[in-house]
Structure 1
Amino acid sequence: MPETTDPYGDGDGAGLADPAPSPPVHYAEQALLGALLLDPHRLDTLGSLEAAQFGDPAHAAVFAAMGTLTPPEAVVHAREPVWLSTVLDHARRDARGLTAAYLHALVQVCPDPRHAAAYAQIVRSEYARRTLRTHAGSLTQAATVPVQPDPAAVILAQADALARYVDELAGQFAPHPGSLPRTPAPSDPPRDTGSDVLDEERLLLATATAHPGELARMRWLLPVDFALPVHAALFHCLTALAHRGEPIDPVIVLWEAQHRGLLLRDASPAHIMNLLSTPAGSVEHWGGKVLQRALLHQARTTAGLIRAYVDDPANSVHQLVTGSRRALANLSAIRVRWQRTLLRAPAPSRAPRTTAAARAGPLRTTAPARPARTSR
């Protein structure tokens, strides 16, 4: 089959040929249009195909023109090229450089007009891939450049739109065996470890150490939500002590951290004591901040995974549906925990102070006091 890539040229592809190889859907679009030029009555067998689903603008213009015209009678169509000429005249309104030679070439490259419905399904499949990529890109954008004052609401709205589209695809494409994508999962995007992020995590740990009773109301926060591993480990120490019903203060948390090997890997005793000794505000307030950033990170991770599936041409649409649903399940899990924070009761007695120093001021750098030596 010759590669017809020049709808605006003289039919030989000279001068405007695509520099990159055409994807398989390009040939499916050509074959479908050729089939409809040969047998226009097959338009009624294509289902819900739309011109916007074509990747090539010239092909979209030709198909749109066909949809606005009444096909000629079979006898007339067999005797005169009325259909081709009429389609060309109407398509030129949106694709002015379109030539009759290109439409004749479309007829020539169509393997079998009887397969028009199969060609249409290929066009729909590639459109589904492009649209899913757009949804994933919107989710990435929302999580990368959060819209204030409620970035979580924007992200979850984008995730809902993506999930609805995945459900639509599930109803349009029949399942088949081997539906899991085989695409290797990409690395998770790096966590945001800016100064504001780390200060919020430090203030949470210090305030939870000073007011451990509030930990019982924070089952919605997990160590995995923290951006810095040492902070995640310290929060694990706090929750373990609270679960065992043991007393909690900086010294006891430091002792727990030693038993977990944290002092050998990540931090010195003086650093941990200093970190845990600067409480401010409310535990639930800082916990909500940490969980919201974790939600943003999971949204970027989910969108990146779906993009990896979409960009792998070996995945069928049903594989994209299955993989996308699994990726969205991870985002849904943290979403449930985030919704619990919206229902939590406020703590007005220790509402976060609004000064910059109270919110995320510099942590004390002095070591904890040591007992003075006594002379013998």
Structure 2
Amino acid sequence: MNPLLGAEQAVLGSVLLDPEQLLHLSWLAPDHFYRPVHQALFAALRKLRSDGHLALRSEKAVPLSWVTDAVDEASRHVRGLTASYAHTLVAACPRPAHAPVYGRMVLEGAIHRSVSEHAIRLHQSARADALQGEVEGVLHCADVLTGVLSDLAGRWGSEPRPVAPAAPPATAPVAPAPVRSAQVAEDERFLLAVLTDRPRAMDEVVGWLRPVDFADTAHGQLYRCLGALHHRGEPIDRITVLWEAQRRGLLADGTLSGEQLTAICDGVGPGSAEWLGEQVMRSSVTRTAAGSARAIRALAENEALAPGRLINHALHALGPLDDVRARWQSANSRPVASPTVDWSAAGPPTSRVQAALARSTPRPVRAPSERRGSVPVPASARSPSRGHG
């Protein structure tokens, strides 16, 4: 049996056997379940409890109506649920008192699934924006993913902070073919040609454009040479750039060649270095976002990775995108809006965190007088696990 499926069945079975277990599962939501029928049934059980079902006032055995009414309520929202399946769920629960631990297993699966889904959306948005030459969509998806990671960390009860993984994912997805690679390479060559022909144009881009923003490694190294000459206040032309490339060993290791430099510098026409730099930055934003999304998806698909570590490693994978985003906003003279979240204010109440970290030891049940819609009954009259009468 699939462990996640077994955990979902055990949670539902424990609540069907003992409605009091819902008190320990307030932090678990219906959408944390993978199967739609399980989502509908857990939502129905929560609704029956909020409505003050008769089973909550039963002093002895749980009435069979608790099961049948839950199936009837869930059947209004999903097809295929029968009373016989409800009894299958009851049989799948080893011990009703272990419901909080079964719930943690369900939540763990939901965290992996949610992180993977949002990473896929980020990657798709990056590809779409790259085709359109935009960045707004991918930056919005990055903000959504950051918020999701914050919420999941609060539900799991861990401290969200970027932490680098000890080693890259063993089965990282293969990167897809670059989007609009020919146009991006042309923009990069044109920008380098303008900067070589008009050295003063370096002032327009040097504050926010970095070598890593170039898709072509050779172009990035050539821009590094231009930046070094500009920083030292030395003249910039075809010969000085070629000499700087030789001093850095770029000619010896084959990164650059004299023919490549000549091809870039020949035939340059009028152009705006700032506008071309922004085009390169757009490509860098979407390319970096796609790389972060692939890394996060690979982490989420590692079932052996604990949820707390998954969340922290995912936040670390978003770091390069945060850096490119800040420089992109600087290039457009917009105030830098940090995509991070105030971790101290995020997450559910402490009681939910404690419930999420519950172990198999049965928790004390609240006095019946504290439950809404219940009749005061001595706590000793109830058993942690009851059968159906």
Q: Do they fold alike, i.e. is TM over 0.5?
A: yes
Counterparts in 2 of 1:178 and 1:44: CA distance versus 1, 3 Å: farther
State how far apart, in whole Å, the 2-side matches of 1:175 and 1:108 are.
33
State how far apart, in whole Å, the 2-side matches of 1:174 and 1:113 are.
23
Deviation at 1:188, TM superposition (A): 7.3
The 5 Å alignment of 1:281-300 reads 281-300=271-290
Residue in structure 1 matched with residue 117 of structure 2 by the alignment: 134
Residue in structure 1 matched with residue 188 of structure 2 by the alignment: 201
Helix, strand or coil for the counterpart of 1:263? coil
Is 1:237 paired with 2:216? no
The 5 Å alignment of 1:304-323 reads 304-323=294-313
Superposed CA deviations along residues 251-276 of structure 1, whole A, max 9, x for unmatched, are 22122223333334145424412311
Residue in structure 2 matched with residue 274 of structure 1 by the alignment: 263
Is 1:258 paired with 2:241? no
- Give me the identity figure in percent: 36
Deviation at 1:99, TM superposition (A): 2.4
Does the Cα contact within 8 Å between 1:32 and 1:120 map onto a contact in 2?
Answer: yes
Is 1:326 paired with 2:316? yes
Does the Cα contact within 8 Å between 2:211 and 2:221 map onto a contact in 1?
Answer: yes
Where in structure 1 are there 5+ consecutive unaligned residues? 1-21, 345-376
1:68 to 47, 65, 76: 47
Query: Which has the higher relative contact order, 1 or 2, with Cα contacts under 8 A spaced 6 or more apart?
Result: 2
TM-score (norm 1): 0.78
State how far apart, in whole Å, the 1-side matches of 2:167 and 2:92 are.
32
The 5 Å alignment of 1:46-61 reads 46-61=25-40
Deviation at 1:129, TM superposition (A): 1.9
Deviation at 1:49, TM superposition (A): 2.2
Helix, strand or coil for the counterpart of 1:175? coil
Where in structure 2 are there 5+ consecutive unaligned residues? 335-389
Task: Please tell me whether Structure 1 or Structure 2 has the larger radius of gyration of its CA atoms.
Answer: 1
Helix, strand or coil for the counterpart of 1:304? helix
Superposed CA deviations along residues 143-179 of structure 1, whole A, max 9, x for unmatched, are 1111786621211111111111111122222239999
Superposed CA deviations along residues 112-151 of structure 1, whole A, max 9, x for unmatched, are 1111122222222222222222211111011111178662
Residue in structure 1 matched with residue 81 of structure 2 by the alignment: 98
Residue in structure 1 matched with residue 14 of structure 2 by the alignment: 35
Deviation larger for 59-68 or 297-306: 59-68
Deviation at 1:182, TM superposition (A): 7.1
Residue in structure 1 matched with residue 198 of structure 2 by the alignment: 211
Is 1:169 paired with 2:148? no
Superposed CA deviations along residues 66-97 of structure 1, whole A, max 9, x for unmatched, are 12222514547617422112222222223343
Helix, strand or coil for the counterpart of 1:110? coil
> Which AA in structure 2 matches 1:65?
A
State how far apart, in whole Å, the 2-side matches of 1:71 and 1:315 are.
42
Helix, strand or coil for the counterpart of 2:290? helix
Residue in structure 1 matched with residue 169 of structure 2 by the alignment: 183
Counterparts in 2 of 1:334 and 1:182: CA distance versus 1, 3 Å: closer
2:61 to 74, 78, 81: 78
Deviation larger for 180-189 or 100-109: 180-189
Deviation at 1:100, TM superposition (A): 2.1
